[in-house]
Amino acid sequence: MVAHRMVDVNGIRLHIAEQGEGPLVVLLHGFPESWHSWHRQFGPLVDAGFRVVAPDQRGYGSSDHPDDVDAYTILHLVGDVVGLIKELGEEKAYVVGHDWGAPVAWHTALLRPDMVLGVAGLSVPPPFRGPHRPLAMMRELFGGRFYWNYFERPGVADAEFARDTRATLRKFLYYASASASPSGEIVQPMVDPERGWLADMEDPEVLPEWLTEDDLDALAESFSGNFTGALNWYRNLDRNWELTAPWDSAVVTRPSLYIYGDRDLVPAFPGARDLIEQLPDFMPNLHRKPVELADCGHWTQQERPDEVNAALIDFLRA
């Protein structure tokens, strides 16, 4: 059975879910999610002989929500993972991340390879540092309508998403899933800054089969109308670019795995497809070529749990 507790890590308190014995596997969720997004991975990974721990990352769920925007840089997030591994009594761990959790996992392997047995990222490919600040680049490419730029406006998205937490999450989960694009067409996530993002998102009458009302209840309860901590991650994108300058042109050397859905909007971001094709050249210990899941949207491990579990277990055992 999955157990829950609070741990002191990197100057804050994190809520973690944990189960099993064996080599440690840390599962890092993305936006707008919680530890619960990995609930379909616990049983299979535990049965395969691993100790599984999934935190609510800082700014999410029952974990601490620091007030300062600057408390959500990539160095803080990697520090949380490093501190968590140590707090759990381990020296090394496998680190797996989805969505925003993937950059945290990749950067943990990049900055602290001594503590990472292997690293896997779902949806978001490795963080090879580009030549331009991300927020500034997207502002120029899309005239300020890209969702990152909407998120960086203090208090705006926070208020929009908090008006009806459950409806917000229901719309997001449907919007970025394969269910919302049966034709396979992927549209860049643009936002009318005056109307907000949710106004143009479909609110499904029936949830996708991979998403239950209980899942939605658990996620809504974890947010409790507070999205600011989660949004602060995006508000540090340019700051992260500055902070990671010492690792410019560095590559992830630890054994690695990348999994993504063919209908995921993230691999459709500008330049992402080219990067994915070149990953075998950039990552010397890539377990196998990037794993593309058919008819899968953004919520990789929830939409295709069996395929993701099989790929993860194959990787971890190897």
Q: What is the pLDDT of residues 216-242, one digit of tens each?
A: 999 999 998 899 999 999 999 999 999
pLDDT tens digit sequence for 111-164: 999 999 999 999 999 977 889 999 999 999 999 999 999 999 999 999 999 999
pLDDT at position 281 is 83
Nearest-10 crossing angle of helices 305-317, 39-47: 40
pLDDT tens digit sequence for 149-204: 999 999 999 999 999 999 999 999 999 999 997 777 888 899 998 999 999 899 99
Percent of the chain with pLDDT over 90: 88
pLDDT band at 6 (very low <50, low <70, confident <90, very high): very high
pLDDT at position 85 is 98
pLDDT at position 173 is 97
Q: Which of 11-15, 44-48, 270-274 has the lowest mean pLDDT?
A: 270-274
Q: Does pLDDT of 68 surpass 80?
A: yes
Measured distance CA(253)–CA(152) in Å, rounded: 32
Query: Rounded to 5 degrees, what are φ and ψ at 4?
Result: -130, 140
Measured distance CA(203)–CA(309) in Å, rounded: 29
- Residue 205 DSSP SS3: coil
The total number of structural domains that make up the chain: 1
> Is 132 among the residues known to form the active site?
no
Catalytic residue selected from 15, 39, 287, 298: 298
Percent of the chain with pLDDT over 70: 100
Strands (E) located in the chain: 3-9, 12-19, 24-28, 51-55, 93-98, 116-122, 256-261, 291-293
pLDDT at position 295 is 94
What is the domain range of residue 258? 3-317
pLDDT at position 129 is 84
> Is 234 among the residues known to form the active site?
yes
pLDDT band at 21 (very low <50, low <70, confident <90, very high): very high
Q: If you average pLDDT over residues 21-42, what whole number do you get?
A: 98
Report CA Rg, the chain. Answer: 18
pLDDT at position 270 is 86
Catalytic residue selected from 60, 150, 234, 260: 234
pLDDT at position 53 is 98
Q: If you average pLDDT over residues 59-70, what whole number do you get?
A: 97
> Is 99 among the residues known to form the active site?
yes
Q: Does pLDDT of 39 surpass 80?
A: yes
Nearest CA-CA partner of 29 in 173, 200, 160: 173
pLDDT at position 40 is 98
Q: What is the CATH number of the domain that holds 165?
A: 3.40.50.1820
Q: Does pLDDT of 96 surpass 80?
A: yes
Catalytic residue selected from 99, 158, 215, 264: 99
User: Angle at Cα 261 formed by Cα 255 and Cα 262, nearest 5°?
Assistant: 125
Q: If you average pLDDT over residues 285-313, what whole number do you get?
A: 96
